Amino acid sequence: MQRRHLFGTAFGAAAAVVVPAAEASVSDHFGEKMRPIDTENRAPGWGVGAVKPLEVKGRRIGEGRPKLIAPTTSKNPADLYQTLEKFAGMEALDMVEVRIDYLGKLAPAEFAEVTQKAYKAAGDKIVLVTLRNGTDGGPFIAEDKYYGDVYRAVIESGKADIIDLELFRDADMIRSLVKAAHAKGIKVIISDHEFKFTPDEGEIIRRLLLEQEFGADILKLAVMAFSPEDALTVMTATAKMRHYYSDRPMLTMAMGKWGVLTRITGEGFGSDLTFASVGGKASAPGQIPAEECLSVLDTLHRAMNP
């Protein structure tokens, strides 16, 4: 019996004491690789700090302090370009997230055109383009067909350094969008969101691994925290991903008051990017103002690398 199952029983704690270490560690086949699945046992994996940094526009994501992303919340293109010009001049920012969903349900070709102009306005910042579904924090429901058409248009005739694709979509569509993006040199974040709860540690790890299997360059998860323990769950799952399962950059966070700490602890726990607000305009609860966030990240970076 696996140790994790013993923990699940009423007598788990007592029973775990007598489980011999040799039985406690198990591994399973996932793809072609053998990976430890019982993290309770600290089974050897890919080792601490095995992340391979991803270089985009001269910035190395996964190296040094977490990189700062400011999301746009503009509701029309003119305001979007103006906002991006402002972001372009902000030293604190590494990346901008162009949240095209906030512009409304435009035609795919219109979104492609908007992203071209947005890309120019963003100067030397990394440009992430996101169409966020209504179930995941966006303003409207974007069905798979429309969602696929928008991203295909952005990839083919728009402009982006990175796109954000949602994990729980039609699997074939996601695979083909990842392929199309990579063929154009565009990196891919695959993301998952939960607004009603924080999944347990094993489930978070499973979702991040699934993103990896879909070919994401950056693995992402944003969940709502309702307690300090929820935030710890996200940080522990992220740290275990980094220790045992993945060498890809990650972007994990818990939203809301109890999630705030997860937005600044990435260098210690394995989240290589973080979202921050500008001018009080946040795209999710708990985002810290960009300059303040940078100052905390820099302080932590210096303390961790004396």
Ligand X SMILES: O=C1C[C@@](O)(C(=O)O)C[C@@H](O)[C@@H]1O
Residues involved in catalysis:
193, 220
Residues 133, 194 contacting (CB under 8 angstroms): no
Is the Cβ of residue 234 or residue 284 nearer to ligand X in the bound state?
284
Q: Which one of the spans 24-32, 112-120, 197-205, 280-288 is the region binding ligand X (CB under 6 A)?
A: 280-288
Task: Report if residue 131 touches ligand X, rule: CB under 6 A.
Answer: no
Nearest residue to 127 (alpha-carbon basis) of 67, 57, 35: 57
As measured in angstroms, the least distance from the Cβ of 259 to ligand X is 8
As measured in angstroms, the least distance from the Cβ of 257 to ligand X is 13
For residue 85, give both structure tokens. 């010009």
Scanning the chain, the segments in alpha helix (DSSP H) are 3-7, 12-18, 21-24, 77-88, 108-121, 144-157, 171-183, 201-213, 228-240, 266-269, 290-304
Is the Cβ of residue 95 or residue 121 nearer to ligand X in the bound state?
95
Is the Cβ of residue 149 or residue 194 nearer to ligand X in the bound state?
194
As measured in angstroms, the least distance from the Cβ of 69 to ligand X is 8
132 belongs to an annotated ligand binding site: yes
As measured in angstroms, the least distance from the Cβ of 286 to ligand X is 7
Residue 194 CB-density burial (10 A; 0-12 exposed, 13-18 middle, 19+ buried): middle
Task: Report if residue 191 touches ligand X, rule: CB under 6 A.
Answer: yes
Task: Report if residue 54 touches ligand X, rule: CB under 6 A.
Answer: no
Residues 161, 126 contacting (CB under 8 angstroms): yes
For residue 21, give both structure tokens. 């270490």
99 belongs to an annotated ligand binding site: yes
Phi, psi for 112 (deg, rounded to 5)? -60, -45
Q: How many CB atoms lie within 10 A of CB 4?
A: 17
Residues 193-232 that bind ligand X (CB under 6 A): 193, 222
Q: What is the full DSSP assignment across 38-107?
A: -GGGT---S-TT----EEETTEEETSSSPEEEEE---SSHHHHHHHHHHHHT-TT-SEEEEEGGGG-S--
Is the Cβ of residue 38 or residue 79 nearer to ligand X in the bound state?
79
98 belongs to an annotated ligand binding site: yes
Q: What is the pattern of x (binds ligand X, CB under 6 A) and - over residues 13-52?
A: ----------------------------------------
Q: Which of 151, 275, 290, 294 binds ligand X (CB under 6 A)?
A: 275
Question: Which residue positions form the known binding site for 3-dehydroquinate?
Answer: 97-99, 132, 263, 283, 287
User: Footprint of ligand X on this chain (CB under 6 A)?
Assistant: 71, 97, 99, 130, 132, 137, 164, 191, 193, 222, 253, 255, 275, 283-284, 287
